[in-house]
Amino acid sequence: MSDSFQLDGASVPFEPGQTVMQAALAAGHYIPHLCYHPEFKPHGSCKLCTVKVAGRTAASCTMPAEAGLNVESDIEEMNGLRRTLVQMLFAEGNHFCPSCEKSGNCMLQALGYDLEVHTAGFRHLYPDRPVDASHPDILLDFNRCILCELCVRASSEVDGKNVFALSGRGITKHLIVNAGSGLLKDTDIALADKAMQVCPVGVILPKRVGFSVPIGKRRYDRRPISAQALDDAPRQADTGGSCATCEGTP
230 closest CA partner among 27, 60, 75, 49: 27
Specify the 3-state DSSP secondary structure of 4: strand
pLDDT of 242 reads 41
Domains 3-74 and 100-222 share a fold: no
> Would you kindly state where each structural domain of the chain is located, as residue ranges?
3-74, 100-222
pLDDT of 240 reads 42
Cα separation of 236 and 250, whole Å? 25
Low-confidence ranges of the chain (pLDDT < 70): 1-2, 236-250
Instruction: Return all residues near 212 (Cβ < 8 A) that are at least 6 apart.
Output: none
**Are residues 61 and 21 in contact, defined by beta-carbon separation less than 8 angstroms?**
yes
Instruction: Return all residues near 242 (Cβ < 8 A) that are at least 6 apart.
Output: none
Cα separation of 14 and 63, whole Å? 13
CATH class of the domain whose range is 100-222: alpha beta
Q: Quick: pLDDT tens for 198-218.
A: 999 999 999 998 788 888 899
Q: Quick: pLDDT tens for 143-161.
A: 999 999 999 999 999 999 9
Does the domain formed by 3-74 have CATH 3.10.20.740?
yes
Beta-bridged to residue 52, according to DSSP, are 57, 72
Cα separation of 42 and 40, whole Å? 6
pLDDT of 114 reads 95
Specify the 3-state DSSP secondary structure of 23: helix
**Are residues 38 and 245 in contact, defined by beta-carbon separation less than 8 angstroms?**
yes
Beta-bridged to residue 140, according to DSSP, are 132, 204
